[in-house]
Amino acid sequence: MWTALTIAGVLAAASALYGTLAVAAHAAGTPLGLLVAGAPALYLVVLALFAASYFIMAWIFRARRPAAVRIGLRATLRLVWFEYWTLAGAAPRMLLYRALVPEPPAAPAVLPVVLVHGVLCNAGVWARVVRFLRSRGIGPLYALSYGPPLASIELFADQLDALIRRVRERTGAREVMLVTHSMGGLVALAYLRRHGAASVRRWVAIGAPFAGSVHARGFVGVSLAQLRPGNAWLRALDPRAPAGGPPVVSIWSWHDSMVTPQTSSRLPGAIDVPLAGVGHNALLREPAVLERVAAEYRVACAAPATSGCPA
């Protein structure tokens, strides 16, 4: 709710300002068609500048890459384009998150999936993932929209605990599978530290900054401060797979554009799945990531033999 309201407020203010300037420009002789086309063009230009800034930071603070994962010009252009295009569609998806990622009706289920988004986002970022998993017969799918966005990760972990309890009540399931993106990985880790692992059968973390990200130094807020590498909260969290906890799979990219250094996504004790040539937000549309999440769900279903999960 908080993120959608923030985006709506920002877009409304920007539209009002642009409209005022456009009226004056039209009165001065600027063609109306040009002014109408200028609004989406301005939106895309601003996003391009934003994307360029964090790609530059990702390059400056990048992890040392093995020769085998270095990419050429064509793959670099693909990397930048898909990251930018994913980012461009993020605002509409987050505004319409309730329609795109609705809560499923209460019904018995063997292994529900709980999706946990990253910083300054909401459940809308999971729209493509939800469509893909549903097409594979996987579900029910529940997505947490935590907040306020700049509050502490401990608060978000408590909100995740409340959702998992509610999912178990609505489905009768004893456990859930967690799938997280970006800071959602730290929310899940904090949840496991604070509330235990009895309700989680398996966890897939996508692009999680387990050791923090240099990018967070350029933002304000409690949660962003907790994302800064080497901070006291992160050290106290003890970023490693919880002993006796669920199996953890960490999927990440050597070319992540927002987690720096990229090897911050390595979690000691987890199954490490590094990719190459994929940006941070584009991880949630990358076919290899989607297929791996579906495969991990099947593995989780097979852990205790059941007949309630898709073969």
With b for 16 or more beta-carbon neighbours within 10 A and e for fewer, the 134-143 pattern comes to: eeeebbbbbb
Distance CA 103, CA 142 (A): 6
Listed range (158-172, 177-191, 233-247) with the worst mean pLDDT = 233-247
298 φ, ψ (degrees, to nearest 5) = -65, -40
pTM, to two decimals: 0.92
Chain segment 180-201, per-residue pLDDT in tens = 999 999 999 999 999 999 999 9
* Angle at which helices 287-302 and 127-135 cross, to 10°: 50
Q: 67-92 pLDDT, tens per residue? A: 999 999 999 999 999 999 999 999 89
Query: Counting Cβ atoms within 10 Å, is residue 89 exposed (0-12), middle (13-18) or buried (19+)?
Result: middle
Q: CA–CA separation, 203 vs 113, rounded Å?
A: 10
> What is the end-to-end Cα distance of the chain in Å, rounded?
36
Integer Cα distance of 66 and 196 in angstroms:
36
Angle 35-36-40 from CA coordinates, rounded to 5°: 105
Domains of the chain: 1-304 (3.40.50.1820)
Q: Residue 205 contacts by C-beta under 8 Å, 6 or more apart in sequence?
A: 180, 184, 185, 188, 248, 249, 250, 251, 265, 267, 270
pLDDT in tens, 40-51: 788 899 899 999
Cis preceding linkage at 148, omega within 30: yes
The token duo for 63 is: 């992890």
- Residue 42: CB atoms within 10 A of its CB come to 12
Neighbours of 44 (CB within 10 A): 12
pLDDT in tens, 264-307: 999 999 999 999 999 999 999 999 999 999 999 999 998 764 44
User: 36: which DSSP letter?
Assistant: H
Strand partners, 299: none
Rg (CA), the chain: 20
